[in-house]
Structure 1
Amino acid sequence: MPQPHGFAYEQRDGGTTVVITHHGRPVTILRGSRAARFLQEVAAGDPQLVMARWTGNYKRGNERFAREHPRNSRSL
């Protein structure tokens, strides 16, 4: 599975607000204690993986099976 890429974050209001972007578009805004917890995780691990997890934008391993499911067929 490829590593996530294209994520960036910006601290605002002295670190009490964090805006996470993906390829330049805002994805998530974290405030208060959630922003502080996010900044701790970014400092401790791989920032791209942390941002992908916090935004919910990461592969779960079931994409191949979901594509083959009948409800996802294009012949409706």
Structure 2
Amino acid sequence: MTLRVIDILEGASERDEFQFGFDGARDGWEEDIGIYAPGYLEMEAAGMEADYDHANLVEPDDAYEIRSNLP
């Protein structure tokens, strides 16, 4: 059985496995995943995460620009 990416992040947080400054909360992780991997969470919810097209991943510089323009 595969864990959802959010559950993996929550487990890592509970085990204090994040580097200082990189920890967060579920809402923030979901927002970040939505920016860096648009459509991934929807595909994961439908059980199709293995089919996610990695060409959709957003470069960090572009993701920063996207985040900067969010309300």
TM-score after normalising by structure 1 = 0.30
Bigger proportion of residues as strand:
1
The structure having more radius of gyration, on CA atoms, is 1
